[in-house]
Amino acid sequence: FGDSRHVDIKPNSRSSISNTREITVAPTRSVGDSRHVDVKANRSRSNTREIGLKPNRSSSREVGVVKPRRTISNTREVDIKPQLKLKVVSEVLNEQSKQKFSNKLEELDEVNRLRGKARQHKEISDMYFNQIKMQPDRMLRNTALSNHKRELDLMRSTNQKAADTIYDINNRNRSINIVDLHQLFVSEAKQKVDEAMSLWQSKSVTSAAFIVGKGLHSGSRGGKLGPEIKKYIDKKFQHAECGLDANNSGKLNVKLNVSKFN
């Protein structure tokens, strides 16, 4: 059977020889093709084996482990940024300014505490006052009256401490001809106006101002301090002219006539 190719070839017909060769070669090529197909199939199997190995490769596992490590390092860098910002801010703010700010907060807390304590004395004073009206016994009325006056005095002294603290905070490091009366009661502000007028007279100040606020937190009726202080200055100080600032409704400008100083 190995010589079957030579048997099929006819020497008398070249065309037939070529044809038979083509015919006989064709199955040979088909066999080769089939082998080639088998090889391809084997290659495809090898490819499938390689694909199947991918999930088991250590490199894929290492990639899966490396990614969270990178994210962890990134999150650590993000967490450090606010600390760096705080460090920069702390370097910009020197120790002296931070201490001043801390002291101011403590002083404001002290003012609130004093104001609260003064309200308590006022409530107790009102209670004793009601006892005076309702007490038939004369001796008990006198005792209630004494307690009433004592509580009023404690209220005034406590409010005075609060007013002095507020005035010191508002006018610290301020020029001599500008006085801030913010957060003061009208009676307390009038006292500070007297002190300022006396100081300006001794220093021969001719132009000054009082900061009274715009009354933004006073409701629909507007600020009470500004109009009361203007009325007080116009009535008491004849050598001074007081008027509202054209550009700032929370400021009273004061013109002082040196020649009329007593």
CA 122 to CA 195: how far, in whole Å? 27
Average pLDDT for residues 182-208, to the nearest whole number?
A: 93
Average confidence (pLDDT) over 79-102: 59
For residues 55 and 129, the model is more confident at 129
Share of the chain above pLDDT 90, in %: 42
- Is the pLDDT at 90 greater than 80? The verdict is no
Q: State percent of the chain over pLDDT 70.
A: 57
- Residue with the larger pLDDT of the pair 93 and 64: 93
Lowest mean pLDDT among 43-52, 99-108, 201-210: 43-52
CB neighbours of 38 closer than 8 A, spacing ≥ 6? Answer: none
More confident residue, 246 or 20: 246
Which string of DSSP letters, residue by residue, matches the chain? -TTHHHHH--TT-HHHHHHHHHHHHHHHHHHHHHHHHHHHHHHHHHHHHHHHHGGG-HHHHHHHHHHHHHHHHHHHHHHHHHHHHHHHHHHHS-HHHHHHHHHHHHHHHHHHHHHHHHHHHHHHHHHHHHHHHH---HHHHHHHHHHHHHHHHHHHHHHHHHHHHHHHHHHTT--TTEEE-TT--HHHHHHHHHHHHHHHHHHT--EEEEE----TTS-TT--SHHHHHHHHHHHH-TTEEEEE-SS-TTEEEEEE-GGG--
**Alpha-carbon distance 258 to 206, whole Å?**
7
Q: How many CB atoms lie within 10 A of CB 200?
A: 22
CB burial readout 143-166, b (16+ within 10 A) else e: ebeebbeebbebbeebbebbbbeb
**Average pLDDT value over all residues in the chain:** 74
The two three-digit tokens of residue 75, written as one number = 């999150």
- The torsion angles phi and psi of 94, rounded to 5 degrees, stand at -75, 170
How does pLDDT run across 5-14, given as a tens digit for each residue?
Answer: 444 444 444 4
Q: How many CA atoms lie within 13 A of 236 on its CB side?
A: 12
Q: What is the pLDDT of residue 42?
A: 45
Residue 106: pLDDT band (50, 70, 90) is confident
Residue 85 predicted with pLDDT over 80: no
Q: What is the pLDDT of residue 95?
A: 65
Predicted pLDDT at 252: 94
Provide the token pair at 132.
Answer: 């005076």
Q: How far apart are CA 180 and CA 227, in angstroms?
A: 15
Write the pLDDT tens digit of every residue in 196-214: 999 999 999 999 999 998 8
CA-to-CA separations, 219 to 7, 39, 167, 222, 250, in angstroms, rounded: 125, 95, 23, 6, 15
Residue type, 162: A
- At 187, is the pLDDT very low, low, confident or very high (cuts 50, 70, 90)? very high
pLDDT score for 213: 87
pLDDT tens sequence across 12-42: 444 444 444 444 444 444 444 444 444 444 4
Amino acid at 124: I
Give the lowest-confidence range in 77-81, 156-160, 238-242: 77-81
Q: Give the Cα separation of 93 and 83 in Å (integer).
A: 15
Q: What is the pLDDT of residues 162-181, one digit of tens each?
A: 999 999 999 988 899 999 99
Mean pLDDT of 58-87: 48
